[in-house]
Amino acid sequence: IPKAVGGSLFRIHRDVRFATDKRPYKTHVGIYFPHRQAGRDIHAPVFYLHLDPAGCFAGAGLWHPDAPALRAVRDAIVSRPAEWRRVLKVAPLSDEGRLVRPPRGYDPAHPFIEDLKRKDFLTLVTLSEPRVRRAGFVDDLAEVCGGMSRRLAFLTKAVGLPY
């Protein structure tokens, strides 16, 4: 049976046939678990697992969403602030990627203006190497993802996908 090509595992090698640098493209394993209807779009709401000798983590959210998706999330935060407030209690959002000024069309005095400035909406949970190597890690990962699912549900619905 031929092996399927593609899937959710990021490749670690680059084409090195003519390169002098033969090191792997990536030195970690990254696996994303996308929404069924989002297909292979890594910019859609996803769960993510990062395994690296330097550190491992699980994540959930939107990484570099396109402009319409980013606007949809911002509009959802503005229109459903109470729900967003509950979602924020789950776990902190990563501080990567923020605008310096409020995005055009949004009130600079909005109580969630710092979230509206975000370019990414990610929650990251650090995983220790002993935790990752345990026999029950898959169940542990499912529990970690379950803890991040409320935020992912908000983001998924905001971009028009069912959760």
pLDDT of residue 154: 95
pLDDT of residue 104: 94
Taking alpha carbons only, the member of 162, 8, 153 closest to residue 87 is: 153
Please report the beta strands in the chain, taking only residues with DSSP state E, as ranges in sequence order: 29-34, 46-51, 56-62, 121-127
Going from the C-alpha of 69 to that of each of 1, 23, 72, 85, 119, the distances in angstroms are 39, 35, 5, 20, 10
Give the sign of the dihedral formed by CA 148, CA 150, CA 154, CA 160. positive
Measured CA to CA, the distance from residue 62 to residue 70 in angstroms comes to 9
Tens digit of each residue's pLDDT (9 = 90 or more) over 99-143: 999 999 999 999 999 999 999 999 999 999 999 999 999 999 999
Helix axes of 137-158 and 67-79: crossing angle, nearest 10 degrees: 80
Is pLDDT of 4 > 90? no
